[in-house]
Structure 1
Amino acid sequence: MKRVGIITFHAAHNYGSMLQAYALQQVLLNMGCDCEIINFRTRRQKVFYYPPFCHGRWIGMIRRLFLYWRDVIPLMKKYYLFESFLRNKYILSEKEYQTVYDLSNEDFQYDIYLSGSDQIWNTSCLDFDWAYFLPFVKRGKKIAYAPSMGPKPFIEVIEENGRNIKKYILSFDSISVREQGTADRLLMLSGVCAPIMLDPTLLLPSHYWEKMVVRLPLVKEDYIFLYMPSYDERVFMKAEMLSNRLGMKVVVSQICEWAGHEWRKKHNFQYLLSVGPIEFLNLCKNAKYTIGLSFHLVVFSILLHTPFIVIDGMNDSRIRSLLTLTKLESRSMSFSMTDFSPYFSPIDFKIANELIANKSQECLKWLRRNII
């Protein structure tokens, strides 16, 4: 039995990050591997995902506590839902590591080190660390499964990092990436031509995720689920237009500094903040529509057969690859469009899921060939 250590964004309080880490571990366990996630959590990452009123010095914390006074309890619940998922859904290494130095000083006994998936190779990402290129590995096989360099790799991964990337990439035994944009950027920076693999969440069939959804809907009435990891007012405006067209409220699970202002006052927007990864699946599954700018929102809308609209999706390398694979390019709506009529046409999820299943078999074969 091969011992596999995974390193990824497993501890980022981001729905997609945690669900993809969970999926990858489950896939490897299903293959018969003795697999654990290396519990690498940088101080920067930990602090970033604290509730907003827990940041900075005590004076700033008190100010933010007043700003978020009505959201303190749901935001604390949200934080602990993510931490609970981390503790209860993963098999983690016994120790936690905060730096590459910590990793380098550990005598790991893995046969295989697997880096991936998510945006772990996006050097502009707040969670980024060179540890995700496996420089700490002393012995054992080094594999990259579907890491991403982000929505726009030619902008976010700058030339100055190219020398380091090339050095680390050439030490890998096998490399694959998640989308064409990352493949193109990697080829330019290192000369390595990497095959494109599916995000780990797509390697598990739909019924697997259906079982994780709590049976009762979190929201009782019809609703539109809006999700994007970072705020873009134009996307909120699109969601408001769709809400007015359908006569449904918009449910939002994210909050930032802006949330105490204009959009919190809208009668057709509901903020449901105590939402962890499993609750996210519930909101995706039971929505009448999902709308936003998020790769994993598109993933789970397809897997859970929920009609979706992705704003400006074809300008995001990750989303474009997924929509092209599933022949759902028409579900991307540009910022300039105002007519929603084309998006009310039914989606043939059967075809989309068959295309994913075919690609999934190719990805699983690649993993078996490189791991077993």
Structure 2
Amino acid sequence: MAGHPLNIGIITYHAAYNYGSVLQAYATQTKLADMGHNVTMVDYRSEEGKRYYERLYFRGQGLKSTLADLTMLPVAGKRKLRMKRFEQFIHTNLQLSAKQYRAPEELNELAETFDVAVSGSDQIINKHSNELARVDWEYMDPYLLKWARCRKISYASSPATMTDEELDHIGPALARFDALSARERSACARLERVSGQHVEHVCDPTLLLTADEWVKHVPACRKTVVGDEPYLLFYSLLRPKRAMGVFNQLKELSKRIGMRVAVLTPMAGNAPNCAELINVLEAGPEEFLSLMRHAQAVLTDSYHGTLFSINFHKTFWVYTEGTKEHELGTRRGQVLQELGLTDRIVTDFTQISSDEVKSGIAIDYSAGADVALQSMRGHSIAYLKKSVAYQEN
């Protein structure tokens, strides 16, 4: 009968120590629960995933990775606190399965547990992701829902850097899904080719919730975590090799705009101790939301940094080391094009306007971005609702 609550199991990268991964999992869970369903996050953490995220150093990815790890030794305390905050958020806010699963075959015991299995979002069908790059293909099977004997749908799953030949490898499994979707428009045609099915274009789960819903569901982001002074948030996934040059540019930017820069760079957290910069490496998911919400402006090279900037109506810039034309082909660039915000791309920090930072209202979201975002969100929620609750005649 219509409106009957379903038992839904979600499987995704819910336990990566990555803001986008954890918050997209939370958003998918929240939106499905808001629809009236009983939602469980399948607590699948492969040994490789746990090794990658839970070891502070020497993760065995070559000499460059080891040298990068050595540069992070001075901030070991901040990194440990960050890990602790991620685990607290995961265990407090996600409806985890009673058992934690480590290997693909262990999930077979869940075969008859759910009415619907939801796979996604994130790069769960990308063999080159941190969780899957060093292991056999079978470790992608849980995300391809090979264990589930129920209705199977994907939500906004990304193949990212997979080649066409690699996608052929997972085509037969995707063909057995009841509904498929992808978060990058460019991925839809590629997945349609290998699955023989229509692939719906939907938004990232973090955009399924409005800014007001984020504040409602995660009350901790109502409080500032860096004091009451205005700040620009720099959120980047830059590597240690580039870090010092970027930090020097941020110091100059701080002086020019007349406010401090909160530096959130999980991949290079050893920001210099100086008056211009605030090192917030220890931020967990709740602190990340707080930093985003209360920032005077945001500078980012991150996909989810871009999405949350837009969702919270921030004055923001997307920084690229390449050309603007190249950036338009990335997943960040695709979102900016759809929302009419490509003018926010910069290739140098000197292009950031001091007046725009200080005003905090440089972008008129009502001029088109909000309308486009609401349309994207409405379409995506409709896909999710229809795909999950579909009943055979």
Q: What's the TM-score, normalizing by structure 2?
A: 0.82
Match of 2:299 among 291, 305, 311: 291
Match of 1:173 among 178, 187, 190: 178
The Cα of 1:209 is off from its aligned counterpart by 1.5
Q: Secondary structure at the match of 1:195?
A: strand
Q: Distance in 2 between matches of 1:67 and 1:339?
A: 30
Structure 2 contact 237–266 (Cα < 8 Å) conserved? no
Answer with 310-319 or 324-333: which moved more: 310-319
Q: Which amino acid aligns with 1:272?
A: V
Q: Which amino acid aligns with 2:335?
A: L
Structure 1 contact 225–291 (Cα < 8 Å) conserved? yes
- Go from structure 1 to structure 2 and tell me whether the alpha carbon gap of 1:342 and 1:240 turns closer, same or farther (over 3 Å shift): closer
1:121 aligns with 2:137: no
Q: Secondary structure at the match of 2:83?
A: helix
For 1:59, the equivalent position in structure 2 comes to none
Alignment of 1:123-142 (within 5 A): 123-128=127-132, 129-130=139-140, 131-137=142-148, 139-142=149-152
Structure 2 contact 328–337 (Cα < 8 Å) conserved? no
For 2:211, the equivalent position in structure 1 comes to 206
Answer with 337-346 or 2-11: which moved more: 337-346
Alignment of 1:1-372 (within 5 A): 1-50=5-54, 52-53=56-57, 70-128=74-132, 129-130=139-140, 131-137=142-148, 139-150=149-160, 156-211=161-216, 212=218, 213-220=220-227, 221-231=229-239, 232-233=242-243, 239-240=250-251, 242-256=253-267, 259-260=269-270, 263-264=271-272, 267-312=275-320, 314-315=327-328, 317-334=330-347, 338-341=350-353, 344=356, 346-350=362-366, 351-372=368-389
Q: Distance in 2 between matches of 1:272 and 1:224?
A: 12
The Cα of 1:325 is off from its aligned counterpart by 2.3
Structure 2 contact 221–293 (Cα < 8 Å) conserved? no
Q: Distance in 2 between matches of 1:216 and 1:229?
A: 24
Q: Distance in 1 between matches of 2:364 and 2:109?
A: 51
Query: After superposition, what is the alpha-carbon deviation per residue over 1:36-84, rounded to whole angstroms, capped at 9, x for unaligned?
Result: 111111111112112525867xxxxxx9999656533322221111001
Q: Secondary structure at the match of 1:110?
A: coil
Q: Distance in 2 between matches of 1:157 and 1:53?
A: 27
Q: Secondary structure at the match of 1:275?
A: coil
The Cα of 1:230 is off from its aligned counterpart by 4.3
Query: After superposition, what is the alpha-carbon deviation per residue over 1:321-364, rounded to whole angstroms, capped at 9, x for unaligned?
Result: 221222111111236x8433499371112342332122212211
- Go from structure 1 to structure 2 and tell me whether the alpha carbon gap of 1:103 and 1:341 turns closer, same or farther (over 3 Å shift): same
The Cα of 1:12 is off from its aligned counterpart by 0.6
Q: Secondary structure at the match of 1:290?
A: strand
Query: After superposition, what is the alpha-carbon deviation per residue over 1:234-286, rounded to whole angstroms, capped at 9, x for unaligned?
Result: 76566455334313322223344x555xx526653321222100100111111
Query: After superposition, what is the alpha-carbon deviation per residue over 1:203-240, rounded to whole angstroms, capped at 9, x for unaligned?
Result: 11211123324433112222221112342557656645
Q: Distance in 1 between matches of 2:97 and 2:112?
A: 10
Answer with 104-113 or 90-99: which moved more: 104-113
The Cα of 1:87 is off from its aligned counterpart by 0.4
Answer with 159-168 or 344-353: which moved more: 344-353
Superposed CA RMSD: 2.8
Structure 2 unaligned residues grouped into runs of 5+: 61-66, 133-138
- Go from structure 1 to structure 2 and tell me whether the alpha carbon gap of 1:194 and 1:68 turns closer, same or farther (over 3 Å shift): closer
Query: After superposition, what is the alpha-carbon deviation per residue over 1:107-127, rounded to whole angstroms, capped at 9, x for unaligned?
Result: 441111111111212221112
Structure 2 contact 153–180 (Cα < 8 Å) conserved? yes
Structure 1 contact 210–304 (Cα < 8 Å) conserved? no
Q: What's the TM-score, normalizing by structure 1?
A: 0.86
Q: Distance in 1 between matches of 2:112 and 2:198?
A: 29
- Go from structure 1 to structure 2 and tell me whether the alpha carbon gap of 1:105 and 1:219 turns closer, same or farther (over 3 Å shift): same
Q: Which amino acid aligns with 1:282?
A: S
Q: Distance in 2 between matches of 1:348 and 1:171?
A: 44
Structure 2 contact 172–194 (Cα < 8 Å) conserved? no
Q: Distance in 2 between matches of 1:69 and 1:295?
A: 27
When the two structures are aligned, how many residues end up with a matched partner?
356
Structure 1 contact 25–37 (Cα < 8 Å) conserved? yes
Q: Which amino acid aligns with 2:272?
A: R
Q: Distance in 2 between matches of 1:303 and 1:163?
A: 35
Q: Which amino acid aligns with 2:362?
A: P
Q: Distance in 2 between matches of 1:69 and 1:146?
A: 36
Q: Distance in 2 between matches of 1:163 and 1:366?
A: 25
Q: Distance in 1 between matches of 2:347 and 2:127?
A: 27
The Cα of 1:144 is off from its aligned counterpart by 0.6
